[in-house]
């Protein structure tokens, strides 16, 4: 009986040894898993950090995009203003060309008018002298005519001639 008791105890010891060995293997796996678990935890932490950094970069890019869009809109308004100014400058340039042309024509007209005025002034002097000469001749004729109307030396013949 003792042998069979030892055999039963041997079987139990063996079974216990198997359980201990399995426990040791499980503990080793857990220790290894713990290492893997720690590595996994560190990897997850790193991914979370990278996610936060990426999210911050995306938000910063969103802000920069809004700034760029605002600057682009401002540039478009400025560009439209510049186009308008260029168009106005072109209109002003055409108007200036027209004014220069008109000024040139007016200068030509003024020169012609000045020349005509000088001619008129010269002609006025000539006419004035001619009128004075004619008036002088009319006055002389009038005096001559008056002198013929007056009787000379009392002769009737001169009177008749003056009356005729």
The SS3 call for residue 1 is coil
Low-confidence residues of the chain: pLDDT under 70 = 1-6, 30-35, 151-164
**b/e 15-24 (16+ beta carbons within 10 angstroms → b):** eeeeeeeeee
With a CB cutoff of 8 Å and minimum separation 6, the contacts of 106 are: none
The pLDDT value recorded for residue 23 is 80
Q: Which two tokens stand for residue 103?
A: 């000024």
The pLDDT value recorded for residue 163 is 47
Torsion from C-alpha of 41, 42, 43, 45, nearest 10 degrees: 90
The pLDDT value recorded for residue 25 is 80
Report d(CA 120, CA 114) in Å as an integer.
10
Report d(CA 85, CA 74) in Å as an integer.
16
């Amino acid at each position: 009986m003792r042998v069979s008791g030892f055999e039963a105890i041997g079987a139990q010891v063996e079974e216990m040894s198997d359980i201990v060995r399995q426990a040791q293997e499980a503990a080793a796996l857990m220790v290894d898993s713990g290492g893997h678990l720690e590595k996994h935890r560190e990897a997850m932490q790193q991914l979370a950090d990278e996610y936060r950094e990426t999210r911050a970069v995306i938000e910063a890019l969103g802000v920069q995009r809004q700034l760029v869009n605002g600057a682009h809109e401002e540039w478009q308004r400025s560009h439209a203003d510049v186009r308008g100014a260029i168009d106005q400058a072109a209109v002003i340039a055409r108007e200036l060309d027209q004014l220069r042309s008109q000024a040139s024509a007016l200068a030509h007209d003024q020169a012609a008018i000045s020349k005509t005025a000088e001619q008129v002034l010269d002609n006025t002097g000539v006419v004035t002298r001619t009128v004075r000469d004619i008036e002088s001749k009319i006055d002389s004729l009038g005096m001559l005519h008056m002198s013929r109307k007056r009787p000379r030396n009392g002769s009737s013949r001169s009177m008749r001639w003056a009356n005729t």
